[in-house]
Structure formats: C-alpha cells, structure tokens
Chain A
Amino acid sequence: MSIELEIQLVAVVVSVACSLAGVFLVLRRMALMSDAISHTVLLGIVLVFFITRDIASPFLVLGAAAMGVATVGLVEALVRTRLVREDASIGLVFPALFSIAVILITRYAGSVHLDTDAVLLGEIAFAPFRRLEVGGVDLGPRSLWVMGGVLLLNITFIALLYKELKLSTFDPGLAAALGFAPGLLHYAFMTLVSITAVGAFDAVGSILVVALMITPPATAYLLSDSLPRVLILSAVIAALAALVGFWTAWLVDASIAGCMASAAGVLFLLAFLLAPERGVIAVARRRSRQRWEFARLMLAIHLLHHEGAPDAANESRETHLGEHLRWEPKFARRVVSEAADEDLLVRLQDGRLELTETGRDSARKAMLV
C-alpha cells in the first residue's frame, strides 16, 4: 500500500467512526460535549503515561476513555447544583482538566513524544510511519488498526443497541418507565464517544475532533428525516470529507486535518443552501411561492366580499386595488395577471375584475365557508 492510500484509509476510518457517534451526540443536544471530551482525554493519556512510561501502552486508551466519562460526570454534577448552567459548566470543566494536562506535559514530559502541536493538530500524515508488526510481519499502520477497531466498536454498539439508544434519546422518561436504564445507557454511550475521541485525537488533534463528530451528522439532518438514513448519510459525508480533505491538503500542501474539517464544513454549507426540503434556497422559494399564492387568495376573497354589493363596481377595479388593499401598483398587476392565468378571475371590458366559479370556490374554501 502506498503512503497516500494508507493516510486516506486512516482518514476515512477516523471520520466515519466520529460521525456515527456524533449522530447521537447531536440528537441528544450534547454536541459541545465532544469538544470537551476530545480535550480532556489528554489528561487521561498523560496520567497513564506517567504510570506506564510507555507511549504505546494500550492502557492509554483506557485512561483517556475514563477521563472522558469523568468529564461528562463532572459537568453533570456541576449542572445538578443548579449554580451553573450546562454550557457554562462545560466551559469550566474542560479547560480545567485540559490545562492540567498541558502543564504536566510541558513540565515533565518534554523529552517524550507528547508535544502540544501534535495534541492540538494531530499527526495523520505520520500515521504510515508507525507500523504494527507481529513476529516481524508488517501489518500496516498502527492507527489504521486502532481506528478500525474503534469504528467496529461504534458500529456494533449502535447496531446492537439501536432501539434502546433511539428510545432513550427521544423519550428518556418512557425509556426509564419501560426499564431501559437510560442513565446506564447514557454513560455507556459517553464511554464510546470518549474512546472514539481518543482515537480521532491521535489522528486529527483535539481541536478538530468536534468538526468530525458534529459536521457530518448536522449535514445529514438537513437531507433526511429518518434515523437509519441519517446514520448512513452521515457516514458517507464523513468519508467524502476525509477524501476531499486529503487531496486538497495534497494539492495545496497544507494540514490534512485542517483540510478534512474544512471539506466537511463546505459539504455542510452546500447542504445548508441546496438541501431539497430544508435548504435555505428551497425555503426561500417556498416562501416566495406562498406569498404570491396568498396574495391571489386575498384578492379572490376581497372580490367575493364585494360581489353584488353596491360598491362592487368601485372595489373590484384593478386600478383601485392599491387604494383598497394597500398594494403597490406593480405588485397588484402581477397578482391580477397570475390570478387570471390560474383562471380565478376574468378582466372585464370596463376594467372591473370578476371572479370565476373556480375563484369563488377557492375563496370560500380559504375562509372555511
């Protein structure tokens, strides 16, 4: 396998693993918790490193995951005091734990391979240089195996507990009443998020984990209404962002992690503008269409009201609409001609407007007569 291919594989696997966990984080309104966890796992890594003195120790992941869960627990405990709100307590807990880790690294671990740049920005470009060898046989980049395992864990967890996760996310009250222990499930899920964050953190650094966890799900929500489809779309968008990001970084010679996060951001922006139902453009079009529809209906109702009344000759004149309905002449002309096109009314010789039977029907229907 070429180096480029290996980097791309790692990028895709990291990105997809993050996006799957991210779907439930976003649904649970815990998006920013991923940012907190991706930072505080560092303290877990540093503390375990001081015990094991081995940067490749598998216990590092355990320490990191434990610290991630501890972060969630601390934030929630702080919220329960009712002295601090949730957003503020995230902002209190994670910098506290992260800064302890940074101090420990700079003071005591300066000579080992735990530098702050790598922590913040990751080192996915170096992934191919750290190999997994068993009995002298090269099995490929170590991080590919680690993240492959994390991805598999994510898929297994979500597939097995899909129903339970969905219920406890949508309606925790019913989940508890039915005996599905939403609290336990919550912490199990946050453990999964922490493990995913540790792996991703190694590849793209603590700052950009949040981009990989939140951007693909947020994009997928704009495109679909069903949870299984949101999960699949989210994974596809994440993989796409990884590949686009990698090749952009290759072309412009920039940070791979930065380009991956930017690519995810661009994909979000595209969905935000162009999503068929919920995109900004679709919404604007719908609003504009509704505005004209509404104006035609108002005109029909106005004509119906004055039909046969003594003032009808006056009220139903196209030239008087500006006066009566407070419409600009240009607007009124367009509404009248569209209403005529739709066969709601006809223009009479003397400049009056007369409703057709269709026009009367739609006016009556709109007024619930």
Chain B
Amino acid sequence: MTDQTAIEVNDLTVAYREQPVLWDIDLTVPAGVLMAIVGPNGAGKTTLIKAMLGLLKPAAGQVLIHGRPYDEQRRLVAYVPQRGSVDWDFPTSVLDVVQMGRYGALGWLRRVGRRERDLSMAALGKVGMEDFAHRQISQLSGGQQQRVFLARALVQDARVYLMDEPFQGVDAKTERAIVTVLQSLREAGDTVLVVHHALQTVPEYFDWVTLLNVRKIAAGPVDEVFTAENLRVTYGGRVPFHGSDSPLRDAPPAGGVTGSSAWMGLGGD
C-alpha cells in the first residue's frame, strides 16, 4: 500500500440489529481528492462516515486511513458531524467550539492555551467568522453554525476530512464559501469526503464521487462514474437528475427508497 491511498475500505458491512445498513463495501480513495458521497435517504452515507471514524462497530471488514487503522491515525482525521447532532443552546462561545478541534492534539488533561486560541482565530478567519468569535453559539444562523463546524475541522490540521452534510441548511453564499475552503484543502493535498445531497452541484464542486445505496454502486472520478445509468441504479430507477445541467422533474423519494428490488434486479457494479 502506498501513501497515495488516503482511505481504504475492505469488505465493510455494518448492521443495526439484523438489518444491514451497508453491505460489503470496498472503496479506495486516493489522497488529494474532493469526493462526494451521494445516495438516497437511508443509503448508509452517514453510517459509512461513522464506520470510518470507528464510531460504529462494523459487523465485518475494516477501514484503513493512510494505511493504518483509525485508532492509530486519529490525528490525521477531522470530522464534521451533522449540524443537528449537537445542542446549540449549550452555554459556550464560537471560539470555544472551534478550540474543541484542538483537543485531540492536546490529549487528556492538558488545557487550551494561547496557541490553540491563535490557531482557532486563524481558522475562523478562513471561514469568514472571526467577528463572531465571542458570540454565544445559540445566536448563530444555520449557515454560521456550519462554518463554525468547518473551522473546528480546519483547526485540527488533518489530512483527511470527513464531513456529514456540511451544506445542509446554508444559503448560497455560505455554500460557495465552504466549497472554496474545501477546494483549497484539496489543493494542499488533503483528502475530503462530503456526504452530499444536491446532485446537480456534484460535477461543479467535486472531482470524485461515490454512489451509495446500502452497497456501493460506483466510485471514481466524477466524469467517469457520475452517469445517468449509475444514478438510476443508485436511486432505484427514479433518477432525480441526469447529466450535468439538466435536472429532471422526477424528484428523489423523500423517505427511504422502497424500490430496492429495482436495482437489485439490474445488478452491475
């Protein structure tokens, strides 16, 4: 294995009770790509990210980050959870939340100091939020919350960034700002994985894509695998989008995809 592989997923199966959420995933992500993970609701996108972070115990298989298990590579990985996963009424400030990104490097018992503060202010600057450093977090809008989470990941100074829906609930301007930051990470040689919903922006924002629906449908460079056929398979025959600039009227199903048998029959990986 060369250092050129950022993430390697081998035969990963994750199940909640007996219900498989991810079936036998094999995925190799080269270093230095900006990759979208797309698929219908309930496809296991969040589960895949959580399994990579060791937050869920897989029923089978393993994940390697730059060639080694996650436990040994924590410092190389930054994580942006879904915005809704935390309590924004928590009594703390924006700066304090961003500093949490340094806790991993600090380790147990060591306290936050000037260095952590400076790094965090710099990260807030990168996402255009330095003026909000001392704001109470409950006063932030959805887009601002998302930027704070991004700054918290940036301050970890990682090589692999795993982000769960960083564009959820943000306005167009914030979305552009976030994309610019993600692309600059890729320019610096870092690897960024993003759980993403808006299919029409995939070719514009990302260079790699993984199509997921319980199993991996396809993964690779966007121009190779982001095809109408693969999307049809991923979304159970009801393609919500086709090509790079012609969204179809047929929207993706709001609930979990019920037409799983539709793609099962089609086969093809």
Contacts and interface: CB of A to CB of B under 8 A. Distances in A.
Interface of A: 27, 160-161, 163-164, 166-167, 169-171, 173-174, 176-180, 221, 224-227, 229-230
A167 to B, nearest CB: 5
B6 interface: no
B93 A226 contact: yes
A177 B93 contact: no
Contacts of A169: 90
A170 to B, nearest CB: 5
Interface in B68-94: 71, 74, 77, 79, 81, 85-87, 90-93
Considering residues B106, B108, B138, B152, which has the most beta carbons from chain A within 10 angstroms of its beta carbon?
A: B108
Given A166-B92, A174-B100, A221-B91, A179 B79 contact: no
Interface of B: 50, 53-55, 71, 74, 77, 79, 81, 85-87, 90-93, 97, 100, 103-104, 106, 108-109, 111-112, 136, 138, 152
Given A27-B90, A229-B91, 12 more contacts: A27-B87, A167-B100, A170-B86, A170-B90, A174-B100, A176-B54, A176-B55, A177-B54, A177-B74, A179-B71, A225-B92, A225-B93
Nearest to B156: A178
Given A224-B91, A227-B92, A180 B79 contact: no
B104 A179 contact: yes
Given A170-B87, A170-B90, A173-B81, A163 B103 contact: yes
Contacts of A221: 91
Contacts of B79: 173-174, 177
B103 A171 contact: no
Nearest to B93: A226
A158 to B, nearest CB: 13
Contacts of A226: 91-93
A218 to B, nearest CB: 12
A164 B109 CA distance: 8
A180 B108 contact: yes
Given A171-B81, A177-B74, A177-B79, A160 B109 contact: yes
Contacts of A170: 86-87, 90, 92, 97, 100
A171 B85 contact: yes
A303 to B, nearest CB: 31
A225 B100 contact: no
Contacts of A229: 91
Contacts of A161: 109
Contacts of B77: 177
B162 to A, nearest CB: 9
A166 to B, nearest CB: 7
Nearest to B139: A225
A227 B137 CA distance: 12
Name, among B54, B86, B152, the residue most crowded by chain A CB atoms within 10 Å (CB to CB): B86
A221 B138 CA distance: 13
B74 A174 contact: no
A174 B78 CA distance: 9
**Nearest 5 CB-CB pairings of A with B:** A178-B104, A225-B136, A177-B79, A177-B53, A173-B81
B85 A173 contact: yes
Contacts of A230: 91
Contacts of B136: 225
Contacts of B109: 160-161, 164
Contacts of A178: 74, 103-104
A59 to B, nearest CB: 30
Contacts of B111: 163
B75 to A, nearest CB: 9
Contacts of B54: 176-177
A157 B127 CA distance: 35
Given A163-B103, A163-B112, A173 B91 contact: no
A229 B55 CA distance: 32
A177 B87 CA distance: 18
A97 B77 CA distance: 44
Nearest to A169: B90
B259 to A, nearest CB: 27
B208 to A, nearest CB: 22
Nearest to B101: A174
A124 to B, nearest CB: 31
A173 B71 CA distance: 15
Contact of B74 (A160, A173, A179): A179
A225 B97 CA distance: 13
5 contacts: A163-B111, A170-B87, A171-B100, A173-B79, A174-B81
Contacts of B100: 166-167, 170-171, 174
Given A173-B55, A224-B91, A180 B103 contact: yes
Nearest to A173: B81
Contacts of B87: 27, 170
Q: Of B55, B93, B100, B112, which is in contact with the most chain A CB atoms at under 10 Å from its CB?
A: B100
Nearest to B81: A173
Nearest to A277: B136
B241 to A, nearest CB: 30
Q: Which of A27, A167, A169, A177 counts the most chain B CB atoms within 10 A?
A: A177
Contacts of B108: 164, 180
A88 B18 CA distance: 26
B70 to A, nearest CB: 9
B16 to A, nearest CB: 10
Nearest to B89: A221
A225 B112 contact: no
